[in-house]
Amino acid sequence: MSIQFVDMRISQQANSDASPTAIPVAATPLVFGDIGLQTAGVSVANQGLVRVQLNGFAKIVVGPQFGTVTIHVYRNAVLIFETVYGAADSLDNQAFGFSTVDFPPAAVVATGQIQYTAEIFTAAANPGTTIGARNFSGTAVAGNFTG
Can you name the residues that pair with 122 across neighbouring β-strands? Answer: 69
φ and ψ of 80, to 5 deg: -120, -10
Instruction: State pTM to two decimals.
Output: 0.90
Structural domain includes residue 147: no
Span 38-45, mean pLDDT? 94
Residue 69: give the domain boundaries.
Answer: 4-142
Over residues 62-74, mean pLDDT: 80
Top pLDDT among 47 and 146 is at 47
Helices (H), the chain: 106-109
- Decide if pLDDT at 2 tops 80: no
> Can you give the pLDDT at residue 123?
82
**The amino acid at 131:** I
In a domain, 114, yes or no: yes
Tally of structural domains, the chain = 1
Percentage of the chain beyond pLDDT 90 is: 56
% of the chain surpassing 70 pLDDT: 86
Residue 67 inside a domain? The answer is yes
**Number of Cβ atoms within 10 Å of the Cβ of 117:** 19
In a domain, 130, yes or no: yes
Q: What is the mean pLDDT of the chain?
A: 88
Q: Nearest 5°: phi and psi at 48? A: -90, 5
Contacts of 74 by beta carbon, 8 Å cutoff, 6+ apart: 80, 115, 116, 117, 118, 119
Q: How confident is the model at residue 7 (pLDDT cuts 50, 70, 90)?
A: very high
Between the CA of residue 68 and those of 32, 40, 92, 122, what are the distances in Å? 17, 39, 14, 6
Query: Residue 60 and residue 114: Cα distance in Å, rounded?
Result: 28
Q: State the pLDDT at residue 88.
A: 62
Residue 146 has what pLDDT? Answer: 64
Q: Is residue 64 part of a domain?
A: yes
CATH of the domain at 127: 2.60.120.40
pLDDT 10s digits, 77-133: 999 999 998 766 555 667 889 999 999 999 999 999 999 999 998 887 766 677 889
Q: Let me know: does 4 contact 142? Beta carbons within 8 Å.
A: yes
For 118-138, letters b (16+ CB in 10 Å) and e give bbbbbeeebeebbbbbbbbbb
